[in-house]
Chain A
Amino acid sequence: MADEKKGCMTCGGGMCGGKGIITLKEGAWSNNPLAIQMLGICSALAVTSSLANSLVMGVALIFVCVGSNLFVSLLRAHTPPRIRMIAEVAIIATFVIIFDQILKAYFWEMSKQLGPYVALIITNCIVMGRAEAFALQNPPMLSIVDGFANGIGYAVVLAVIGIIRELFGTGSIMGLWEADWYVGNLIMVSAPGAFIVMGFVVALFNKLKGPDPEENK
């Protein structure tokens, strides 16, 4: 295992580089945590009423996912299997607290708008899932890539839902562009809109992915 680790730390292409790209593609697209695996939908529904919120949440998740994946991976040889869950939660919570404190210190308004949802990254199944399924078995560098890929996959879907909801709900996008003739559609920015848009986005992903023989829920 030491050799494998060394080989990956000094990764200069070759098998490892290829694996990195595959990991990146899997996390961000073909195995997208949100739209394909349906993990972490709580926050995806809650914060997407505007694009700005979605982007901040995306960044938060990338940060937490990369950080926790790195540390879970670094500590994987020293974590007894029985307490690995607690160790993972502690690591994840630490990163969430760091991000929350940064947000509170520099972006107070945003922090208030996101409310409990930044803290709820702790219980976000994506972060926990990646730590459990990937970082525990893989070297640090690859784990960082995986965390980043899944974070990006989440952030992109979040941004898409955020754009749709803000555009159809208020007729503007982050104040950059505004249609003054548009009459706001409250349902899109409130709860039902979130569920319905999310349903359409997931259906779209299903359609693009094509029929999956394993899927028969």
Chain B
Amino acid sequence: MDEPTTAIVIFFAAIFTNNMLLASFLGMCSFVACSVLISTALGLGTAVTLVLACTTAINYGIYHLILKADAVWLATDLGFLKFIVFIAVIAAFVQFVEMFVERFSPKLYFALGIFLPLITVNCAILGASLLLVINEYNLPQSVGFGFGAGIGWTLAIVLMAGLRQKMRYSDIPEPFKGVPIALMVTGVLAMAFIGFAGMVSI
């Protein structure tokens, strides 16, 4: 990184060129399981975007205030604790979102079912927090990255759900049914996203 990239550039890069799912392979588990219906995919995508945008900001704060070697509050290098702290923050936040969704949108709550708590173990969320530490983003960049990554993930899963809904009627060779064909279609989708490569880069 020669010059600091602005938050808005990172935001678009996270959606298209560095798509969480298609370029970094994060959040594959729920991607494969939840991309059968567009409505479910959209619901999960929304939840993931919300959690991603918020947890990246929270984790950024915790990392830079407490954990980092030259942190604001503690002088001790607690960087090695970041994995466990990040996952705890994410778990707590997901719990909060779950209660929120249950209260305000019971329909979505039942549609998402088991997958809402599973956001905790969605690698995309933890991955985003770790990537912003690795890439040394500042606060606006982190939020831009988290939000963009969430939207990118949603875009990918909704596209995939649409394709899978169509695919239900196609004649697929027996061993390829289900996950294998989904993976291969994702491959083609990833190839299409490579086309964005020249647009922005981080």
Contacts and interface: CB of A to CB of B under 8 A. Distances in A.
Interface of A: 38-43, 45-46, 86, 89-90, 93-94, 96-97, 100-101, 115-116, 119-120, 122-125, 128, 187, 190-196, 198-200, 202-204, 206-207, 211, 215, 217
Contacts of B184: 195-196, 199-200
Contact of B131 (A116, A191, A206): A116
B interface, how many residues as a size bin? 35 or more
24 contacts: A38-B32, A41-B32, A45-B25, A45-B28, A46-B25, A89-B91, A90-B84, A93-B84, A93-B87, A97-B83, A101-B80, A119-B83, A122-B83, A128-B121, A191-B22, A191-B25, A194-B187, A199-B176, A199-B183, A199-B184, A200-B184, A203-B173, A204-B175, A217-B178
Contact of A42 (B27, B177, B179, B194): B27
Interface in B146-182: 173-182
B175 A207 contact: yes
A86 to B, nearest CB: 7
Interface stretch (B67-75, B102-110, B122-130): B122-130
A66 B30 CA distance: 25
Contacts of A124: 123
A191 B175 contact: no
B26 interface: yes
Q: Which of B91, B123, B134, B181 has the most CB of A within 10 A?
A: B123
Given A93-B84, A97-B83, A198 B183 contact: yes
Contact of B80 (A39, A97, A206): A97
Contacts of B26: 42, 46, 120
Contacts of A206: 174-177, 180
Contacts of A45: 25, 28
Contact of A199 (B28, B120, B126, B180): B180
A67 to B, nearest CB: 15
B181 A199 contact: yes
Contacts of B120: 123
B134 A116 contact: yes
Contacts of B81: 97
User: Is the contact region of chain A dominated by helix, strand, or loop, or is it mixed?
Assistant: helix
B183 A86 contact: no
Contact of A193 (B127, B134, B173, B187): B187
B85 to A, nearest CB: 9
B29 interface: yes
B190 interface: yes
A191 B176 contact: no
B202 interface: no
B120 to A, nearest CB: 8
B192 to A, nearest CB: 9
A194 B123 CA distance: 17
